[in-house]
Chain A
Amino acid sequence: MNFTILPFVMVVLLITMGLYTVLFKRNLIKMIMGVAIIQNGVNLFLVSLAYRDGYAAPIWTSAPSSDMVLPTPHALTLTSIVIGVATTALMLSFVIMLKRHYGTVDSNETRRCRE
């Protein structure tokens, strides 16, 4: 198998960066940005998994003579992108409402549910 390791290094880097942001940044907007970075890392992971050197894209209209890749990971990635947009939008709208109620987006202060 002849595929490069570089995309997977980027995947690990992106997921680590995202997790770091979610764990150590106390600003809710920044945390959601961290989640978005993890999302992109995971999407990159799926796309790099699907890559096979020398295989054609699975488009039947211009039927190639060589073998095609199985498009399941691409379908997964598209679905994941759509879901990612929805979840990010929903979380950001929650933060907007939280800002209206509490007057802050600091996760140290948005903790009235506790104990």
Chain B
Amino acid sequence: MSFDLITHSPTMVLGIPLLFAFLTPLADKVSKELRDAVFMMGLLLTVFFVFVMSYEVYTSGAWTYVFGGTESRPTSLTSYFRIMFAADGFSALATITVAITALGAGIYSFAFMDGHSGMEKYYALFLLTFAGVNGMILTADLFNLFVWFEVTSIASCGLIAFQNYRGKSVEAALKYMLISVIGGLFLLVSIGLLYGEYGVLNFYYLAAVMTGGLVDKIALAIIFVVFAMKASSVPMHMWAPDVYSESPGSVTPFIAITSMGSLFVLFRILFGMFRFSMGAVELGTLLIILGLLSMFIGVSMALKQSDVKRLIGYLSVSQIGYMLLAVGVGLTTLENGDYGTFGAMALEGGFFHMINDGVYKALLFLSAAAVVYATGTKDLNRLGGLAHRMPYTTVFFLIGGLSIAGVPPLSGFSSKLLIYKSIYLYHPILAIIALVVSIITFALIGKIFYNAFLGPDLGLTRGEVPTSMLAAMMILTVIVVVFSLFPNYVVAEIVVPAIEGLGVIP
């Protein structure tokens, strides 16, 4: 069999970051420049293969990659006992979201982490986290899901505690680690339950044979709660603000995207495995309840914060609520006539919001980190007047902030409009709550903007952050603007294939 780069691209999306993660410490033995170059090469190659895979999915359809077989696509029952990767529209959407953020955070890291010792380990952990999230998204069997889940947890906790001279970083990392490990162990219990009942671990096979008995319910409940916890849904969100505020600024968006990756996995499992046997309405209602709690409590907690990164962390929790709400509405309508009227719209809104949110949240976190880098403080009581000295960062923050608040014509508005309209048709009260949350989000963005950037020049900083950091934020800003200007194109080309990839066309 010839080595076909396009067919093998799902493995490359994992293999390249894994390989380069262990090449960077070796390159560091030679020189620092080589180390940086190797890291950048690994990052760019991974992003390249993500786009190769997505292009193939969009042009010639989804495929299932089977490891260790002589054929790369499943042909018989024995294929389902091998390791499988699903390269479909949904994986493409998720990996593109992760890749954009990883690119931004990676470029940002060079200047931001300059002066730290042990940077080869930082780069290695960064690429390992990247590989872990991609593996979690692409895999189509439960055992691999557990392995990549733990790879992501361990590597991202190493990144969070990288500045181990700060006690609070270590504290946040320990908390996140402890709760992720317990989550991972529960996940293993539910994998054991499903294996004990059906004897396979493959998603497709399980979806076909699952009956929805008591064991399935327990397994589903555990998987649901574990991934909702990793996605920082209220009431299991408490690790999120701690980690987002105390991790190094350049990895904060990356940790946020690992949590979004867990949300992608949750949706894949709900839509791909359990909805056939479990009743889509009940699952959707549960998602809606969690979504409402996340939206409202996230934004209420944000009102009291005076730490800029912690405030954005709470806003991120409330944005996760929008996705849970929209996808929950889509899930409830799956088996009745409402799917045609507003269910599809809710799913489009939810998934479009995920990719939008990944990008503009990364932009917000990176510009907040630029403020911290330039001034040395996260405290909004002490910040002020940065627009005088940091005009570019101000503009980047404003674009990200207006987008998260859903101000037209920015990208956050396009996806929120879809969400509002569809959930209004589901139940008007939900749309009113979503609007109120959006207004408070706007007020909070105004608070950060006023406190940190406006006002008289307090002389907190000498000037703008280094060019490579600005370049990273520029890339994300350009993507936000592109998503803002061509929402119809993005929905048609990226989001609709993702919904088809989940197999929800009734």
Contact = CB atoms under 8 A, between A and B. Distances in A.
Interface in A8-49: 15, 22, 28, 31-32, 35, 38-39, 42, 45-46, 49
Given A91-B178, A113-B245, A42 B173 contact: no
B171 A42 contact: no
Given A49-B196, A97-B161, A87 B170 contact: no
Contacts of A35: 178, 181-182, 185
With a 10 A CB-CB cut-off, give which of B174, B175, B245 has the most chain A CB atoms: B174
Interface string B185-200: 1001101100110010
Contacts of A45: 189, 192
Contact of A80 (B164, B166, B188, B199): B188
Interface residues of A, number: 36
Contacts of A32: 178
A94 interface: yes
Contacts, number: 98
A63 interface: no
Contact of A97 (B143, B164, B201): B164
Nearest to A22: B182
A63 to B, nearest CB: 20
B189 A91 contact: no
A113 B168 CA distance: 7
Contacts of A113: 168, 171-172, 175, 241-242, 245-246
Interface in B130-164: 143, 146-147, 150, 153-154, 157-158, 161, 164
Given A46-B192, A113-B171, 6 more contacts: A35-B178, A49-B195, A79-B143, A79-B147, A83-B147, A98-B170
22 contacts: A35-B181, A39-B185, A42-B188, A45-B189, A46-B188, A70-B199, A73-B192, A87-B177, A90-B158, A91-B178, A94-B161, A95-B174, A97-B161, A98-B170, A98-B174, A110-B171, A110-B174, A111-B171, A112-B171, A113-B175, A113-B246, A115-B304
Interface of B: 143, 146-147, 150, 153-154, 157-158, 161, 164, 166-168, 170-175, 177-178, 181-182, 184-185, 188-189, 191-192, 195-196, 199, 201, 241-242, 245-246, 304
Interface of A: 15, 22, 28, 31-32, 35, 38-39, 42, 45-46, 49, 70, 72-73, 75-76, 79-80, 83, 86-87, 90-91, 94-95, 97-98, 101-102, 110-115
